Amino acid sequence: MGKWDNVIHFARKLRADFHEFTFKNPDVHFSAGIFMGNPHYPVGRFYRDAGKLQDDAKNSNERKNRVKIFNQILDWEEFDSKINLGEKFARVFEGEETEMKKLPSAFAYRILNLVKSSFRESTYEDREGNWYNRGSINPGRFSRNVAGLRYFLARQGFDKKRSEEAVSVIEKELIWDFMRSFDFNGDEDKIYPVRDYLVALNYAIFKNRAKASQKS
């Protein structure tokens, strides 16, 4: 129990230390559930609900060794990656004078849609006889989505310079994460769910809200 971001960082540290303690033995591991509630949430229910999340993580597949947070179940490596990505998303908007209460949910929707629509959803052959595998990136669509993100930020009050800086960071980090997380040979078992990005986005939203409440 504790402050929401401290709990997340504690979970990451605990898993990293445990992994080292067991000499990175893949057969020795644990699963976890991270539940977030308001300060007045009953402790008994808090314990029960967190336990339910842990059970979900354990029973999500045969491998176990996972964590459930923000209603998503990820393996520990992907959890680390998405929290790091969430930190970078949050920093993009640090110091902005835009209406942060309105921006996060719309921003999250835009990013999630950008990610989802940037990958081919099925394996197919185009008119020229070129084959594309499910899970491979669609460069043209990704570029159009990034352009749309620039327009979206401009409408939220970002000036051109700040908008370009923000999009540059987002674009770079998403491309890096795409290359790291997705299997471009079309192996469906190795393609991480697009909805895993909700962990990064929710983390950024929570962090921005926490900072906004401290300023008010």
Domain count, the chain: 2
Please indicate, yes or no, whether residues 63 and 137 belong to a single structural domain of this protein. no
Work out the average pLDDT over 142-146: 83
pLDDT for position 142: 82
Both 63 and 91 in one domain: the answer is: no
User: Do 111 and 214 belong to one domain?
Assistant: yes
More confident call, 67 vs 116: 67
* Domain around 22: 1-69
For tokens 């004078």, the residue is: 97
The residue out of 38, 69, 100 marking a domain boundary is: 69
Residues 137 and 215 in one domain: yes
Do 103 and 49 lie in one domain? The reply is no
Same domain as 85, residue 52: no
Task: Starting at the earlier edge strand, list the strands of the sheet with 72-75.
Answer: 32-33, 66-69, 72-75
Nearest to 50, CA basis, from 75, 65, 64, 67: 67
What are the pLDDT digits (tens) for 147-177?
Answer: 888 888 787 777 777 777 777 777 777 777 7
Q: What is the DSSP string of 35-82?
A: ----TTS-HHHHHHHHHHHHHHHHTSSTT--EEEETTEEEEHHHHHHH
Which residues are CB-contacts of 123 (< 8 A; sequence separation ≥ 6)? 131, 132, 133, 134, 186
Q: Are 88 and 133 within one domain?
A: yes
Mean pLDDT of 111-119: 75
Helix (H) / strand (E) element for 131: namely: strand 131-132
One domain for residues 211 and 123: yes
Q: Do 14 and 105 share a structural domain?
A: no
What pLDDT is attached to residue 182? 53
Asked whether residue 113 falls in the same domain as residue 41, the answer is no
pLDDT value for 215: 67
Say whether both 158 and 64 belong to one domain.
Answer: no
The residue out of 21, 53, 69 marking a domain boundary is 69
Q: Pick from 69, 87, 105: which residue ends a domain?
A: 69
Same domain for 193 and 214, yes or no, is: yes
